[in-house]
Amino acid sequence: MGRHTGQDGHRPLRTAALTSFLALGAVGALTAAGLLTAHPPRHPDRPSSDTVALAVPATAAPAPTPPPSPSPSPSPAADPAPQTSPGTPLGVTTTAPDDAESRRVGALFSGPVAPGHHFCTASVIDSPGRNLILTAAHCLSTASGTTFVPGYRDGRAPYGSWQVTKIYTADGWRNSGDPDEDFAILAVAPRDGRQIEDAVGGNPIGTHASWTALTRLYGYPANAELPLLCTNTTTRQDTYQRRIDCPAFPGGTSGGPFVDTATGEVIGVIGGYQQGGDTADTSYSAAFDHTIAELLAEAS
């Protein structure tokens, strides 16, 4: 099973991605890798303590200058990051508010930017080139014709549609579809002379988060046109898998970010074990450690 619908509108088989290939003119097919087991493979070179080791310090870049816009609303990149109030109900799924953080989350499209054409979720991450987004590795069968729309709502693309140009995946995913490395960094082309992080900002990747971090989970259901949001405390599913209990995150939410409420860092994406979960009420993520830090360095 899984938590995505695939670029053709159907849930594909378990797949393994190519690393760092050009989207334009590329036909990169993912290879089938079989069923997942209840205990994902272990990696002796990775940390196994209750706190994932910090591989590369992740610090947020200064907020970019807000772009000129005819819209009366303030620039999303200039808005302060949302804070979770003490009264926020945990484990309750609602429509995400339109704020600075949710605008960095968007839907992946194959085909027109219109209802029914988005198949997974992604989010903008902070990087030196200001041109990277993050999703689950199992989401993409090809980058050709794939676009990302941050802040997508009700068929509208308020911050534009951005063409995916490259896909970066870790060796374990590329070679064997390892669920412990079910994450992908995508490069997107500039638009009107600007990079995507200049338009909406980007969240840093965190590789040191506690297994029991209070987290905001985002995702775009394939059959809906508004993003979902749920806040809850994560737990440890297995050696390299994070779990969160949030109801009603169905197909299409794969790749949705786990955002640490204390730091604003992305500490996971819906994917990993069971490609994100066989039920809509529990989601998983591969643990973020030195492997994703090295992938970010490669993509930057």
* pLDDT block averages, 10 residues each, the chain of length 300: 49 34 35 34 40 32 40 40 69 96 97 92 98 97 91 96 97 95 98 96 96 98 96 96 96 96 97 88 96 97
Give the separation between CA 292 and CA 208, rounded to whole angstroms: 12
Give the separation between CA 15 and CA 176, rounded to whole angstroms: 9
The pLDDT, as a whole number, for residue 22 is 35
Residue pair 268/235 in contact by the 8 Å Cβ criterion = no
Question: DSSP 3-state helix, strand, coil percentages of the chain (rounded to 5)?
Answer: 10, 30, 60
For residue 146, the surrounding DSSP H or E stretch is strand 146-150
The pLDDT, as a whole number, for residue 228 is 97
Q: Which pTM does this prediction carry?
A: 0.75
The pLDDT, as a whole number, for residue 55 is 31
The pLDDT, as a whole number, for residue 238 is 92
The pLDDT, as a whole number, for residue 80 is 45
Q: How many CB atoms lie within 10 A of CB 197?
A: 24
Give the separation between CA 34 and CA 235, rounded to whole angstroms: 26
Residue pair 218/96 in contact by the 8 Å Cβ criterion = yes
Helices (H) and strands (E) in the chain — how many of each?
3, 17
